[in-house]
């Protein structure tokens, strides 16, 4: 389909088709220069403990400092590089050793390289034919994650976020019990009800709302003083729901709650689920990575009894945002049956390879990013033992922090002897974090001293 190499212009609808479009030489040079800038300003400088975590500006002021406007004419490369520099300058350096504000932090060189590669290759993981390597990598990574959960067999898919994984699980559970829901919807069904702890992630409510179940049909089970769901309370709530004619179908336990870093007692919860025929989903988005550590994996004792698990290696394992798997127990093909739409333009059944590799039909997305690949690259580079060390180190660091808080004036430890310490939770500074005024550097980025959560 190459254009004939003729000298006369091919003019269609006023467009010269065989003329040059982009100046590729200049474009390539721009990419090279920008890569150098990223290397210097982000990979090297933004990870330097002596640099600032953030050059903070309030919104209205930052708008004045950045040239945000999109105009009719394009901007030259030197101007674009200046813009790149500004964007980096005013962005929060989440790779900085003192970035503590969210559930992720730090720079992993291997996942970064994987991410650069996928951005350059720009694949979409729906069919094997267009994404052969990334389909196989996803399969390999899922298999390994399933092994760490302790299932004999399983299935899974990478999603844009733990919230979305929780939605997948919720929909899967209701499909399991009421397969007609896919075609008929909820209108003919009894009032579905699901259970989670008071300390669950807010996505459980969001999921219930989005899936048409409704937030009022999320029953928040009481937790103990350590933020763990009380199994006896769960059972009471299940019985109560049945009594009023509602249809309990799912328990969403949490392994690593957002605020307290608590791990629900999965074994006892699994007992309740078995007794009452409920789907057990474990939101291990944050805490799932503890499965990599022989020392800490007992925090998730009983997880092999779950029907589904959400686990985000982009958190404790630093795989880069986003890297989130939903994992499903067994080889029932439930994921495929529940999500398949059999789009004939994409998922033809008469291809010249095994179409079970066209994994996109298991997804709610059409275009899908190869998020498994960055985790795979890190795993390859560090090995299972390296990942284990990463987890052990993270948990040892928080234990160290707790001891330091006890010793330090102006800090008060709110809770002790937690199995794991969610960063920031136990830290309540009595005054704003002291900045190094002489150098003008904010050594630790924690603008709100009294916030709850991390």
Residue among 235 and 279 whose Cβ is closer to a second copy: 279
Match 């001293």 to its residue by tokens. 449
Q: How far is the CB of 377 from a second copy (least distance, A)?
A: 7
Token pair in block for residue 262: 């608590």
Asked, as a colleague might, if the bond just before 42 is cis with ω within 30 of 0, I would say: no
Residue among 7 and 69 whose Cβ is closer to a second copy: 69
Q: Find, among 432, 425, 363, the residue nearest to 165 by Cα.
A: 363
Q: How far is the CB of 68 from a second copy (least distance, A)?
A: 4
Three-state SS at 428: strand
Find the largest Cα–Cα distance for the chain: 82
Which residues make beta-bridge pairs with 255?
Answer: 263
Under DSSP, the state recorded for 451 is -
Which residues make beta-bridge pairs with 431?
Answer: none
Residue among 270 and 324 whose Cβ is closer to a second copy: 324
Q: How far is the CB of 268 from a second copy (least distance, A)?
A: 26
Residue among 233 and 371 whose Cβ is closer to a second copy: 371
Q: How far is the CB of 275 from a second copy (least distance, A)?
A: 25
Q: How far is the CB of 232 from a second copy (least distance, A)?
A: 27
Residue among 27 and 277 whose Cβ is closer to a second copy: 27
Q: How far is CA 299 from CA 191, 228, 288, 453, 454, in A?
A: 33, 12, 9, 20, 20
Residue among 106 and 232 whose Cβ is closer to a second copy: 106
Q: How far is the CB of 3 from a second copy (least distance, A)?
A: 9
**Long-range pairs of 98-102 with CB within 8 A, sequence gap ≥ 24:** 98/49, 98/53, 98/443, 98/444, 98/445, 99/53, 99/445, 100/423, 100/424, 100/444, 100/445, 100/446, 100/454, 101/424, 101/445, 101/446, 101/454, 102/454
């Amino acid at each position: 389909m190459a254009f004939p190499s003729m000298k006369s212009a091919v003019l269609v609808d006023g467009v010269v088709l065989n003329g040059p479009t982009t100046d590729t030489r200049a474009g390539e040079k721009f990419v090279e220069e920008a890569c150098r800038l990223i290397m210097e300003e982000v990979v090297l400088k933004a990870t330097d403990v002596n640099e600032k975590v953030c050059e903070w500006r309030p919104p209205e002021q930052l708008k004045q400092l950045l040239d945000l406007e999109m105009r009719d004419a394009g901007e030259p490369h030197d101007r674009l590089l200046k813009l790149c520099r500004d964007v980096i300058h005013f962005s929060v350096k989440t790779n900085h050793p003192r970035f503590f504000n969210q559930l992720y932090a730090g720079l992993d060189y291997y996942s970064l390289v994987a991410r650069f590669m996928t951005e350059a290759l720009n694949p979409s993981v729906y069919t094997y034919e267009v994404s052969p390597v990334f389909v196989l990598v996803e399969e390999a990574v899922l298999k390994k994650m399933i092994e760490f959960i302790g299932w004999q067999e399983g299935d899974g898919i990478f999603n844009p976020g733990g919230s979305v994984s929780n939605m997948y699980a919720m929909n899967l559970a209701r499909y399991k019990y009421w397969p007609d829901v896919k075609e008929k919807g909820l209108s003919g069904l009894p009032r579905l009800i699901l259970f989670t702890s008071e300390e669950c992630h807010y996505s459980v409510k969001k999921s219930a709302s989005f899936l048409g179940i409704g937030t009022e049909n999320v029953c928040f089970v009481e937790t103990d003083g350590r933020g763990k769901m009380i199994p006896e309370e769960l059972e009471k709530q299940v019985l109560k729901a049945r009594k009023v004619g509602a249809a309990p179908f799912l328990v969403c336990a949490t392994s690593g709650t957002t605020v307290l870093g608590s791990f629900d007692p999965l074994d006892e919860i699994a007992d309740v689920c078995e007794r009452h025929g409920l789907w057990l989903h474990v939101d291990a988005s944050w805490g799932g990575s503890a499965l990599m550590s022989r020392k800490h994996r007992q925090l998730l004792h009983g997880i092999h009894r779950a029907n589904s698990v959400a686990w985000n290696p982009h958190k404790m394992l630093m795989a880069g945002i986003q890297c989130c798997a939903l994992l499903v127990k067994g080889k029932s093909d439930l994921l495929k049956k529940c999500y398949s739409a059999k789009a004939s333009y994409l998922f033809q059944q008469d291809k010249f390879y095994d179409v079970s590799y066209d994994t996109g039909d298991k997804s709610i997305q059409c275009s899908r990013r190869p998020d498994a690949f960055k985790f795979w690259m890190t795993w390859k580079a560090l090995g299972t033992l390296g990942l284990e060390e990463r987890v052990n180190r993270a948990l040892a660091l928080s234990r160290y922090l707790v001891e330091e808080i006890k010793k330090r004036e102006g800090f008060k430890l709110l809770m002790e002897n937690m199995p794991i310490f969610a960063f920031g939770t136990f830290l309540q500074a009595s005054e704003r974090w002291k900045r190094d005024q002489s150098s003008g550097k904010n050594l630790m980025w924690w603008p709100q001293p009294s916030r709850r959560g991390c």
